[in-house]
Structure 1
Amino acid sequence: MKNIYVLDTNVLLQDPYALFSFKPHDVVIPAVVLEELDAKKKNMDELGKNAREVARILDKLREEGPLHKGIKVGSDCFVRVELNHSSYKTVGVTLPDVTNDNRLIAVALNLNVEQQAAEQARKVIVVSKDALVRIKSEAFGLTAEDFLYDRVVVNDELYKGYRRLEVDGTVLESFYGNQTLPVHELKCGELEPNTFLVLKNRLQPSVSGLAKVNHSATHIEPLRYEREHIWGVKPRNVQQKMAIELLLDPQLPLVTLAGKAGTGKTLLSIAAGLYQAEDLGRYKKLLVARPVVPLGKDIGYLPGEKEEKLRPWMQPIYDNLEYLFNTNKPEELDHILAGMGGIQVEALTYIRGRSLPNQFIIIDEAQNLTKHEAKTILTRVGENSKVVLVGDPEQIDHPYLDAYNNGLTYVIERFKNVSISGHTALEKGERSALAQLAADLL
């Protein structure tokens, strides 16, 4: 028996092609959803783009017949715009405020009442990214679901970029004696390229080793780029050693680093970028960018030129640069950056349409990127450039993203089997004992 799925606006704003994700079931778009899409269509951001894309899709379907009667999509799925069943009587006493969310629930309820009276009753399901809409729908006896089709992680287990393995002592001896070891001798199945391995002696757990799978995923090898310090920064834990290994490897043009606040993701990335751009001359420029997404209520328009407007948004980047350059005053850092000329800090707003060759590119707070924005950034990367995406998938400020469908997670999962990319998840906070406790407990 086919179900009837009633879609909320946020589902279509998240994925305009969600209309076609429910085959062989039928899809209903309440008229109130069209009103909300109409209110978003002039936005000059991705929500506006997606609203316009939904309008184009529906307009294309309209050429095949009246949308309010239903248009056949594929062999047995119908998409229709619901103009009837909008009576508010079914929810009016319980939900007296006539909000758009409540109007959507009313449509679903009226459809459900009609189906219960039918000879072959069909199930009506509300699909929404809004948890409160799902809660209210279920309170009225409806089935409500989140839209999970856009998730890139199915089992809630994010790829960490490293594994812990127990091995025999002879395996460790062979590895350190030959400085290499075939992957099949570990007897742990297939391993992704550039995955790190923490090898522990099965009989003596205190004896361990750190290895990395090579680019072709055939052998493991010791870390090649372990250093005492990079621009005054020294790795304090195993995951930071892994991060430096990836950041300094010229054969990896894409690196992703994930971890809680204070784990050193951004600081390590900037230090590695400065070292390779200024000391080694491997890149012509260090470019650091981040999405302009406020934490909490936005403070509104800011005075001044572009650089002055961006300074508050980019201040976390400048904080790291002040630490690396050991400066005490903002003007000292400004003089240093002006004199060097090879360091650029800017917002992601200005990256579209650019080509970025011979640069070390750091994208901070990448968890606030959508999948489309992440694709846009990576397709800007030119020859001989390296791009580093840094972020915490658990700290999302974007209203339509979560830990499993954001741009950072999308890139991590799509590139984990690719030889030219590497990833590691940093776990231990090094900012301070208080910062680590706050990240764990709050």
Structure 2
Amino acid sequence: MFDNLSDKLDKALHILKGHGQITEVNVAETLKEVRRALVDADVNYKIAKDFTATVKEKALGQNVLKSLKPGQLMVKLVKDELTELMGGEVAGVNLSGNPSVVLMSGLQGSGKTTFSGKLANFLKNKKTKKPLLVACDVYRPAAIDQLHVVGEQISVEVFSDRGNNDPVAIAKAGVAHAKANGFNVVIIDTAGRLAVDEVMMTEIANIHKAVTPSETLFVVDSMTGQDAVNTAKAFNDVLNFDGVILTKLDGDTRGGAAISIKSVVNKPIKFIGTGEKMEAIDVFYPSRMADRILGMGDVVSLVERAQEQFDEEEARKLQKKIAKNQFGFDDFLKQIQQVKKMGNMKDLVGMIPGAGKMMKNVDIDDDAFKHIEAIIHSMTPAERTKPQIINASRKKRIGKGSGTSVQQVNQLLKQFDQMSKMMKMMQGGGGKRMMQMMGKMK
């Protein structure tokens, strides 16, 4: 995510790092490179120019030239201004009303239908929300089928009326169905349209008038860069939406749309899509995104994702197994499944400070665990429960059954043994001491 921009900003800010002499000339040179990096990332030139002018003014006002660590101070100023440019504060989604209605709009191919499902899944996992998806795209072939497949995947009901070609009537019927059946959030998936298509824009305006949504969201493909920003402006002039959703951010190495869309349409980015999985949705935090763009990672989001997959009852059971030395490969497999649900592996690594830079040329496959899973699935139930019974002949059979080698089986067994010992140690005094140390660090 934003790899190219991150690299260029790092090189630009490197001018002021270290202990060399700092002058107004090399501060100006640094900001010239920052501006160039932003323009290369498809940020509008005027926005990039205004951005660097503001940073320069603040830098000289805070006396960067006389600072003991001018490089660090400049990074902080750039980070703060990036945060402001992307919206400053996090913008929550408005779910007032019973049911609250969320109207999805956007171009065809922007990922609107998939994101409707992601949003429904996100809200469903909040426990207090019972979402209903409503299929109002009556133009695109198989659009209704696609939404039904998505709904089935996340166990969320989909309301549709295949014999009806009136999206306004379907939307109204969907809201009525939600009221009658205890759904407290309605997400209406509409057809993709162009802002220049007057008939289609009138249609979505009529849907908006009929269901009075608490939230109208514009879904845009971040990989289209400045085109995405221009499209958002054209839509906002007609529809006056409440917020933006940026999809396909995991494939966006530039970041122009994320950086400049707020200043152009004056509407906040509310959510981002970071992968193909239904769990690949994040609330947009401008400050955290600025950290990631500058290679500082995003530990808070990483912890939040982990907590979303955390099951307290399962954790207690696991704790007891570790204490009794009964942690087996079935338990390990469950942990792998939870990690996989957290999202794209490269995205997760990018959240660890410094790791993104170190791993930038390493291709981290989403199937990174497939060999481990294959080896575990080739074990018998007894072998998974008691790995110590796995002898040479069993290793040979497991390797053959999983399409791996005996060496790979040995490596996994060794790593599993080391991990089990570490987990056992964490259960004892070592874990308590570590927690005490962490408490002092707060």
Point out the structure with the larger helix share. 2
TM normalised by structure 1 equals 0.28
Point out the structure with the larger strand share. 1
TM normalised by structure 2 equals 0.28
